[in-house]
Amino acid sequence: MNIFQRALLRMALKGADLSLADPKGWQVMGGVGPTWAKVNVGDGTQLQISTAFSAIRLIAETVGTLPLRLYRTTANGRERAVNDHRYALVHDQPCDYLTAPEWKESMVVSIATMGQAYNPVTRFESTGRIISIQPVHKSRVQPEIGTDGRVIYWLTDRNGQRIAKRREDVLPIRGFGGVGTLEGYAPHQLHGNSMALTVALEKYAAEFFGSGGRPQGILKTKAEFGEKTRDQIRAGFAKYLQDSRDSGELPVLDGETEYQAISTPNNEAQFIEARKFQIAETARIYRVPLHMLMEMDKASYANTEQANKHFLDYTLLSYLVRIESALNSCLLTAAERAAGMYFEFDVNGLLRGDSSQRGDFYLKLRQAGAMSQNEIRQRENMDTRAGADDLHVPLNMAPSDLLGEILTRNKTGGT
């Protein structure tokens, strides 16, 4: 642990009650005590489990690829507020060292692994104009309820100093949590035993195959010997087996010594089944469809659009809404929200079907007069054409603004 980490830990632990009888304060370190599998887990353990890593990465990278925009409500509907300085921050680059996709990924990783994300906002003191949004590790911010009932966020800077911040200046995004908690639940603290089992299974497999696939066992002999001799025989036998495996030679036992396996065979312990079950267990924890974790035994979606919609509705939507709500609350004033300004993710790219599905979709909207040719071309990343902005209706595919004239002409018999 370096000097900065020790200073950060001291600041994080400040004000926390630490005792052997009530070690609740130690939770700020992000760890979980002994589990049933006798494996300690922390927020970093999730990223070391391949299935959990895949689930977290899938969620984070997908959210990172979705465009995030600031919109303004007008008399003709809504429009992108591209002339607002906050539009470029959330859409392009929130700070000097992160692009927008990287920033969104970091937020989601923090929420998915620790239940909370913090994004301190830097503003001009004179005008309040936002300069940058910089995400920080959860351990650097400690929320606290003041005597007046307001929540104070203590931000630990790089020098170890604690600074009191308002909510709008730290942009907190709370994951799934309970009543009365200022921060969301960390999956490894609630499901530590399940994650520990996954780690234990992987550890067992690594040790089993690392020992040449030899099951655990004991040496049986009719000779009697003392404790010191027994320890010497054990150490010598272990080295003998290791040397035999490294050299590829067949080990031979002396005299009446016999090696007897005592561990349960892998097939009887359902080792493969247990590892596959842990993949489904991880999918349940992070609410990720099983087939998206490369477990294809029960894949049942007829097309990509249907699978992506399920992923969006039951996995991503909670992240997107939380982030949008936090941005609206902290980056927009009450007057701006009342006037119809809001942040929103564009999920159309995620629901983009194959060429046949898209063609059918565009055709129906085009025939219903809801989409012009240029709008279709823009959706398909094609250049626009002059005179292709008219909306048509099914009646002879006439321009909608000429429909009244055509109907009048037909009634009067004009040409």
pLDDT tens per residue across span 135-174: 999 999 999 998 888 999 999 988 889 999 999 999 999 9
CA atoms within 13 A on the CB side of 363: 6
In this predicted structure, what is the pLDDT of residue 28? 41
Report the alpha-carbon distance of residue 29 to residue 270 in Å, rounded. Answer: 35
Query: Cβ distance 328 to 81 under 8 Å?
Result: no
Mean pLDDT of the chain: 81
Query: Residues near 154 by Cβ (< 8 Å), separated by ≥ 6?
Result: 141, 142, 143, 144, 162, 163, 164, 165
CA 347 to each of CA 57, 280, 351: distance values in angstroms, whole numbers, following the listed order: 18, 27, 7
User: Given CA atoms 195, 197, 200, 201 in this order, what sign does their dihedral have?
Assistant: negative
Band the pLDDT of 38: cuts 50, 70, 90: confident
Rounded mean pLDDT, 293-322: 80
In this predicted structure, what is the pLDDT of residue 264? 56
Band the pLDDT of 182: cuts 50, 70, 90: very high
Query: Cβ distance 74 to 351 under 8 Å?
Result: no
Query: Cβ distance 49 to 102 under 8 Å?
Result: no
| Residue 119 per-residue DSSP state | -
In this predicted structure, what is the pLDDT of residue 250? 59
Report the alpha-carbon distance of residue 348 to residue 336 in Å, rounded. Answer: 26
φ/ψ (deg, to 5) at 263? -80, 155
Please give the single-letter amino acid code of residue 328.
N
pTM given for the model = 0.74
Query: Cβ distance 255 to 269 under 8 Å?
Result: no
